[in-house]
Amino acid sequence: MTTAKSGRVPDELERLVGAHRSRPLLALAPMEGISDAIVRDLLSGLGGMDFCVTEFIRVTDRPVPKKVLLRECPELKFGGRTTAGVPVMLQLLGSDPENVGQSAARAVELGAVGIDLNFGCPARRVNGHHGGAALLTQLDRLRTIVETTRAYCPAGVPVSAKIRLGWENPEDVLDIARAAEDGGASWLTIHGRTKVQMYKPRAQWSWIRQAAARVKIPVIANGDIFTPDDLSACQKETQLHLFMIGRGAFRTPNAFRWMSGLDARPWNVHQSLDLIEIFVARVQADEATSDGGRVALGRLKGWIRALCDASPHISPLFHTVKRTVHLQAALECLKAFRSMPESFLNLGQPTAP
Ligand SMILES: Cc1cc2nc3c(=O)[nH]c(=O)nc-3n(C[C@H](O)[C@H](O)[C@H](O)COP(=O)(O)O)c2cc1C
């Protein structure tokens, strides 16, 4: 197998994402409540993204019903790809190997191009049922979940695992990575933090490098990649060629174009707000969320909040929008903000976080 370290996209990933590319492979991270099908469609349509992953789909005491799989991953109706043709890995989170495996089999029957297994979610309600990051402390079970899922999926359908460095001790990642590999994972995505660290201290990329050296399967590095400089630094520190980006895609909506070299710079605020307005219109139009704009308003606030992380000068917009209770009022704030003179708005490029 060609390795991620050689700069080539490894075979199994290459089958998923298509022809070999000289630039690093870039995937959109799964983000519950944020990276739904509309976002995946919009962001993948911009270019520069090689694959994406659904938000986690929870497997409880029975296999996930088909209608839930189709609701969470509507791309299944279109060959498991977004409109732009970007493949979508379907992520499952559960602690019962049989139920996870059978859910995976159903997803593949419906058209999933690959299954990703969540071993990183830090939510208490999930960990309380031995799911997500709780499995980082139960390596036999983690291995069995991967193995069983693999057995339920036809050959050629990748089964990947997304892990953190451990529950509390980052060095545990070495054994965790091995357990996932032993179970037959096609590749690993490693978020460079422990469960206890949640999302705060800087991701520890050096542990990702050490874990990658312990396994033969490809490793995707994840955590705190927001700019092309971060990408280069992560590449240097991990010696890897495969990366996953989460929050950065919301702070800078053209993050994938920027990091893949399609764009020379991050979008300015107007460009980002243009995309967010399209997003809001699509959320509203989505029958599943026809609720008088409540969901769209929440998502609008969330995305503007994320933009502020890269462009602090627009925080006055967030503070006004945050107080609105109706979508229409929030859209009016947006309009008013956008009609201000550019000199007043200081509409330069976002700053690196
Ligand atoms: C709001 C939120 C929701 C997330 N949901 C998921 C999820 O459903 N599945 C998963 O594997 N990781 C999830 N993550 C973790 C991200 O995929 C990613 O590993 C993490 O944000 C670090 O990458 P980043 O620094 O590029 O954001 C979530 C993270 C955030 C902030």
pLDDT tens-digit series, residues 237-246: 999 999 999 9
Residue minimizing CA distance to atom 3 of ligand 1 = 31
Closest atom of ligand 1 to 162 CA is: 11
Residue minimizing CA distance to atom 30 of ligand 1 = 31
The answer to whether residue 350 scores a pLDDT higher than 70 is no
The DSSP string of 120-139 is: ----HHHHTTT-GGGGGG-H
Distances (CA, A) of 14 to 77, 130, 297: 22, 33, 38
Question: How many whole angstroms from 198 Cα to the centroid of ligand 1?
Answer: 10
The answer to whether residue 171 scores a pLDDT higher than 70 is yes
Instruction: Tell me if residue 223 falls in helix, strand or coil.
Output: coil
Residue minimizing CA distance to atom 13 of ligand 1 = 31
pLDDT value of residue 313: 87
Confidence band, pLDDT 50/70/90 cuts, at residue 1: very low
Distances (CA, A) of 124 to 117, 129, 190, 341: 18, 9, 20, 46
Whether 121 is catalytic: yes
In the set 52, 73, 121, 333, the catalytic residue is 121
Confidence band, pLDDT 50/70/90 cuts, at residue 49: very high
Question: How many whole angstroms from 132 Cα to the centroid of ligand 1?
Answer: 12
Question: How many whole angstroms from 122 Cα to the centroid of ligand 1?
Answer: 10
Gap between the Cα atoms of 263 and 48, Å rounded: 9
Which one of 160, 243, 247 would you pick to mutate in the ligand 1 pocket, going by the greatest count of ligand atoms within 8 A of its CB?
Answer: 247
Gap between the Cα atoms of 95 and 141, Å rounded: 8
Residue 242: count other Cβ atoms within 10 Å of its Cβ: 25
116 lines ligand 1 (CB under 6 A): no
Confidence band, pLDDT 50/70/90 cuts, at residue 20: low
Confidence band, pLDDT 50/70/90 cuts, at residue 287: low
Residue minimizing CA distance to atom 15 of ligand 1 = 31
pLDDT value of residue 127: 87
Q: What value does the mean pLDDT of the chain take?
A: 92
Task: Please check whether residue 190 is in contact with residue 180, taking contact to mean a CB–CB distance below 8 angstroms.
Answer: no
Q: In terms of pLDDT, which residue wins out, 2 or 254? A: 254
pLDDT value of residue 111: 97
Closest atom of ligand 1 to 55 CA is: 8
Write out pLDDT tens, residues 133-150.
Answer: 999 999 999 999 999 999
Q: In terms of pLDDT, which residue wins out, 319 or 292? A: 319
pLDDT value of residue 13: 86
Closest atom of ligand 1 to 54 CA is: 8
Question: How many whole angstroms from 68 Cα to the centroid of ligand 1?
Answer: 21
Handedness of CA 251, 49, 245, 298 (dihedral sign): positive
Closest atom of ligand 1 to 164 CA is: 19
Q: Which of 192, 134, 124 is nearest to 167 (CA)?
A: 134
- Rounded average pLDDT over 157-184: 98
94 lines ligand 1 (CB under 6 A): no
251 lines ligand 1 (CB under 6 A): no
Write out pLDDT tens, residues 87-128.
Answer: 999 999 999 999 999 999 999 999 999 999 999 999 988 888
37 lines ligand 1 (CB under 6 A): no
Residue minimizing CA distance to atom 26 of ligand 1 = 246
Buried b (16+ CB within 10 A) or exposed e, 187-201: bbbbbbbbbebeeee
The answer to whether residue 129 scores a pLDDT higher than 90 is no
Closest atom of ligand 1 to 248 CA is: 26
Confidence band, pLDDT 50/70/90 cuts, at residue 225: very high
Token pair 């071993």 in the structure block, residue: 119
Q: How far apart are the first and last CA of the chain?
A: 37
Instruction: Tell me if residue 27 falls in helix, strand or coil.
Output: strand
Confidence band, pLDDT 50/70/90 cuts, at residue 285: confident
pLDDT value of residue 200: 92
Give residue 25's identity as a one-letter amino acid code: L
What angle is formed at CA 302 by the lines to CA 299 and CA 303, rounded to 5 degrees? 90
Please, what is the angle between helix 315-322 and helix 327-338, to 10°? 160
34 lines ligand 1 (CB under 6 A): yes
The answer to whether residue 259 scores a pLDDT higher than 80 is yes
Write out pLDDT tens, residues 178-209.
Answer: 999 999 999 999 999 999 999 999 999 999 99
